[in-house]
Chain A
Amino acid sequence: MKLLITGASGFVGKYVVAEGLRRGHEIKAVVRPQTDVTRIPWHNHDRLELVRIDLRQEAELTTALAGVDGVIHLAAVKSGDFYDQFAGTVMATESLLAAMKTAAVSRLIAISTFSVYEYQQKRAHSLLDEDSPLVTAERVVNRDEYSQTKLIQEQLYREFEAEGGKVTILRPGMIYGREYLWHALLGAEFGSVLLQIGTRGILPLSYVENCAEAMIITAESETAIGQTLNIVDDHLPTQGKYTQELKKRYPAPKLYYCPWVVMKSIAGFGWWINQTFLKGGAKMPGIVVPAKLHGRFKPLRYTNQRAKTVLNWQPKYSFTASLDRSCGDLELLKV
């Protein structure tokens, strides 16, 4: 297959391109014009074509889509204010989908996120799966910019699908790997200090190589068309287990601990103060905003059953093997 992959030089994109090449596909890797790719081992692979454009350049994108069988859309902006993220995530997707329509490319593997689910109204320790409700447009304003823009992005995917697009929406959990090990679901970062919030919650993890393989298999799969699939690994560790195993292999920041119920109560109290005395006008740090706190740290259960069934996929690396690979010297992007 000829696959066009956006966000190809990003943390996840690098692994997706590598996996696509390993599985024999021709890859058009979309990177931003000024990106230096020379350090990525696959940058000069003979089945790889680098496409240097910004996704908001619709005309150039249409040209790049010629002859493409499917698109894996990873590109998103996670930093900056709402307007930066809106432009880099929503408007870029809008431009990509318009270009796909013009170029008559209908197959889309749309990479979404667990951040689009409703967490605050979910019962602790209940199951979060593909049938769980999404956060509503009214409630998402209390979440971070990433959740807000990714939710709008999913609406665009649905519209594209309604107009004849062959869409699979993949919602990976927290993707971790060599470049990202002390991740946001472990705690809140304050400079060199990490305040761990809870230790017993199960982490919805997806090791980056497992996740990349699932994305490529999705592109190859006819049965995945029209599906929405959560992507997490098997035998998910708790926050405590993850931290313990990672510390054995990788330098740790200074760790402090706050139990989930304590932090939840602090955030709830902060919210009450804000609503009662400040008319909701105060801007509080993320970890004391209940909607954001629940989205990151609420203990829930997760399943990858639907993805495994639909894709006939099995996460290749176990949790400990994933950590070993992440913390070892092996070149993971070699094709």
Chain B
Amino acid sequence: MTTPLKAGVIGTGVISKEHLSFLATCPHAELVGVCDLSRAAAHYAAQRYGATAAYTDFRQMLTAAKPDVVHILTPPQSHKFIATECLKAGAHVICEKPIAANHQDFEELWALAQECDRHLIEDQNYRFNAPILAIQDLISQGKLGEIKEIEVRMSLALRDGGRFADENLPSPIHKMPAGVIHDLITHLIYLALPYLPSFDHIRATWSNHGGGTLFKYDDLDALVIGGDVHAHFRFSCYTMPETFSFKVRGTAGYAETDLFQPYIRAVYPRGGKQLSPLINHWVNGADLMKASVRNFRNKIMQRTPYEGLKVLLDRTYTALVNGTDLPITYEDMERTSRLIDALVAEENRG
């Protein structure tokens, strides 16, 4: 039995529930501190998830609790500043997305992590959701052929109320270069990147269909071509129901899923040219029925689309303890932040 790593959490917003509930049960982690500017929030989280202590100053937590790993769950604008302090204090950093406000900041942070001999990881959680891993399996088995097209689409009713639509105390995310979409675009990008060899042609249309001054943009329609692979990214506040769909098309077949209502539809040659369409329909129909039962059960049992985050954190802690490769690499984060910068730059082309 190895000594658990001392973990600290900074920021106790919505996503903290997922990190803290993981840490409360992870055998490789000991939750030594929770920090929030709100004393009440820090105390509540510490008590709820069994942390050793609550802090309102993250520097004090770094000094007093000396965490081996820090989870940074604060608004993106603060990531670089806080991560810098954590790395210098000798902690590995697991940071919510986007890891930095822009690519340059990410590179500087990465250089610092190397200098401090610490690990730096961005939360790219949906990459570890079961349907994404299953599609990855199909691709690696060659069933879809060579991947030529990817479509990632997210629809969220952010305009219809909730924390992002609050005009009384606007969320800090609205001040990011891509506004509220900046909070979500990382997810869209990293799902497509394993199949996109390069960014040769980039087109992006950013819109604010709902108008007003709170939302900078509420819609993104982007196309990225790398070699002969096309990737289409869509974000909408208006097409319902809410969805996070992912579709890949290869030279032999295609596969799709919706991470909010998980299912897999995979169409590829099964049983010869004549029978293949029929068998695909049967198999997909049966899979869809199974998915509906599974989704009902997941809803009752409170299993959320954050399942991938638990897998990512588990793999990360296991790798840190064993000294093996981490589940998110420099390339994963570097390419993601570079493409986000490139898409945002398209907005300024006029």
List residues of chain A with CB under 8 Å of any chain B CB. 32-35, 54, 56-57, 80-81, 83-84, 86-87, 90-91, 93-94, 137, 152, 156, 278, 281-284
Assess the A54–B168 pair: CB atoms within 8 A: yes
Cβ–Cβ < 8 Å partners of A84 in chain B: 162-163
The distance from the CB of B283 to the nearest CB of chain A, in whole angstroms, is 30
The distance from the CB of A192 to the nearest CB of chain B, in whole angstroms, is 22
Cβ–Cβ < 8 Å partners of B300 in chain A: 278, 282-284
B40 contacts partner chain A, Cβ-Cβ < 8 Å = yes
B39 contacts partner chain A, Cβ-Cβ < 8 Å = yes
The distance from the CB of B201 to the nearest CB of chain A, in whole angstroms, is 41
The distance from the CB of A45 to the nearest CB of chain B, in whole angstroms, is 23
Q: How large is the interface on B (under 10, 10 to 19, 20 to 34, 35 or more residues)?
A: 10 to 19
Query: A-facing mask of B54-75, CB < 8 A → 1, else 0?
Result: 0000000000000000000000
Query: A-facing mask of B133-175, CB < 8 A → 1, else 0?
Result: 0000000000000000000000000000011000111000000
Assess the A34–B41 pair: CB atoms within 8 A: no
Cβ–Cβ < 8 Å partners of B13 in chain A: 83
Contact of B301 among A80, A87, A281 (CB under 8 A): A281
Cβ–Cβ < 8 Å partners of A283 in chain B: 299-302
Known: A33-B167, A84-B163. A90 touches B41 (CB 8 A): yes
B195 contacts partner chain A, Cβ-Cβ < 8 Å = no
Specify which of B13, B41, B167 lies most central, judged by the most chain A CB atoms within 10 Å of its CB.
Answer: B41
Assess the B302–A91 pair: CB atoms within 8 A: no
CA distance A56 to B162 in the complex (A): 17
Known: A281-B301, A283-B302. A56 touches B169 (CB 8 A): yes
A-B contact pairs, 29 of them (CB 8 A): A32-B168, A32-B169, A33-B167, A34-B167, A34-B168, A35-B168, A54-B168, A54-B169, A56-B169, A57-B169, A80-B163, A81-B14, A83-B13, A83-B14, A84-B162, A86-B44, A87-B163, A91-B38, A91-B40, A94-B38, A94-B39, A94-B40, A152-B40, A152-B44, A156-B40, A278-B300, A281-B302, A283-B299, A283-B302
CA distance A33 to B167 in the complex (A): 8
B329 contacts partner chain A, Cβ-Cβ < 8 Å = no
Assess the A282–B40 pair: CB atoms within 8 A: no
B47 contacts partner chain A, Cβ-Cβ < 8 Å = yes
CA distance A203 to B162 in the complex (A): 32
CA distance A93 to B14 in the complex (A): 19
Cβ–Cβ < 8 Å partners of B301 in chain A: 278, 281-283
Cβ–Cβ < 8 Å partners of A94 in chain B: 38-40
The distance from the CB of A303 to the nearest CB of chain B, in whole angstroms, is 32
Contact of B41 among A57, A81, A86, A281 (CB under 8 A): A86
Scan residues 282-299 of chain B and give those whose CB is less than 8 A from a CB of chain A. 299
Assess the A137–B47 pair: CB atoms within 8 A: yes
The distance from the CB of B301 to the nearest CB of chain A, in whole angstroms, is 5
Specify which of B17, B39, B168, B299 lies most central, judged by the most chain A CB atoms within 10 Å of its CB.
Answer: B168
